[in-house]
C-alpha cells in the first residue's frame, strides 16, 4: 500500500524556499514591506521568532499594499502643503539688521540660521538646512536666497540686509 504523505508547509513555499513579508529593514534581505524568498529554516528559526518577518499570506500582502497607498497619499498631501508654503515664501521678503561700516561691509555676517529664524518669526516653518546660501552675506543690500523645502519644491526669498537703526 502506498501512503500519501502530507506535509505541513507554509503558504507560498516550496521545499527549498518560503516567501516572507519583512516587518523591519534587514540589510542583506530588503526593506520593510518587501516580500522575499528565503530558506524555510532561516524563516522558521530566525525571522519569524524574532518578529523580523511574517508569513506572506494574501491578507498580509493586501494590508501592505493598503499601507503603501496611504503613505503615498500622505506624501502627495505634504507635497501640496510644501508647494503652498513655497508660493507664500516667494511673496515674502526678509529684512535683517546688521552692524556695518560706512562702506556697507558688515562687521559680522548673515547666515542661514538668521534667515531661517526670521522666516520662522514670520510664521513660515523653514529649517536652517533648507536655506541655500553660496556663502555668508557680508555686505548691505538685497539678496535673492534659494530655499529648498523638498527635492521637488524650490523657491526663493528676497533678503534685505540693512544697517542697524541708531537710537540717537
Asked if residue 154 lies in contact with residue 86, where contact means CB atoms within 8 angstroms, the answer is yes
Residues 40-58 have pLDDT tens digits of 999 999 999 999 999 888 8
Task: Return d(Cα 46, Cα 115) in angstroms, integer.
Answer: 51
Banded model confidence at residue 91, pLDDT cuts 50, 70, 90: very high
Say if residue 157's pLDDT is above 80.
yes
Q: Is the pTM of this model over 0.75?
A: no
Say if residue 70 is in the same domain as residue 87.
no
Write out pLDDT tens, residues 112-123: 999 999 999 999
**6 falls within a domain:** no
Looking at residues 115-134, what average pLDDT do you find?
92
- Torsional sign, CA 129, 134, 138, 140: negative
**Domain that includes residue 107, residue range:** 83-163
The CATH number covering residue 122 comes to 3.10.430.100
- Residue 10: inside a domain: no
**Residue 9 covered by a domain:** no
Beta partners for 139? Answer: 105
Number of structural domains found in the chain: 2
Q: Which residues of 86-95 are buried (b: 16+ CB within 10 A; e: fewer)?
A: beebeeeebe
Domain membership of residue 7 (yes or no) is no
Amino acid at each position: 500500500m502506498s501512503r500519501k504523505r502530507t506535509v505541513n508547509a507554509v503558504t507560498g513555499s516550496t521545499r527549498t524556499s518560503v516567501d516572507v513579508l519583512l516587518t523591519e529593514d534587514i540589510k542583506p534581505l530588503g526593506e520593510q514591506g518587501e516580500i522575499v524568498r528565503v530558506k524555510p529554516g532561516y524563516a522558521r528559526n530566525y525571522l519569524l521568532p524574532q518578529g523580523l518577518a511574517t508569513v506572506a499570506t494574501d491578507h498580509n500582502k493586501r494590508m501592505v499594499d493598503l499601507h503603501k497607498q496611504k503613505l503615498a497619499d500622505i506624501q502627495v498631501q505634504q507635497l501640496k502643503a510644501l508647494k503652498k508654503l513655497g508660493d507664500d515664501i516667494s511673496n515674502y521678503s526678509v529684512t535683517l539688521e546688521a552692524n556695518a561700516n560706512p562702506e556697507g561691509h558688515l562687521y559680522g555676517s548673515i547666515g542661514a540660521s538668521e534667515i531661517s529664524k526670521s522666516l520662522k518669526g514670520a510664521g513660515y516653518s523653514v529649517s536652517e538646512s533648507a536655506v541655500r546660501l553660496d556663502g555668508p552675506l557680508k555686505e548691505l543690500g538685497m539678496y535673492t536666497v534659494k530655499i529648498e523645502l523638498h527635492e521637488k519644491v524650490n523657491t526663493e526669498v528676497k533678503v534685505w540686509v540693512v544697517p542697524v537703526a541708531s537710537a540717537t
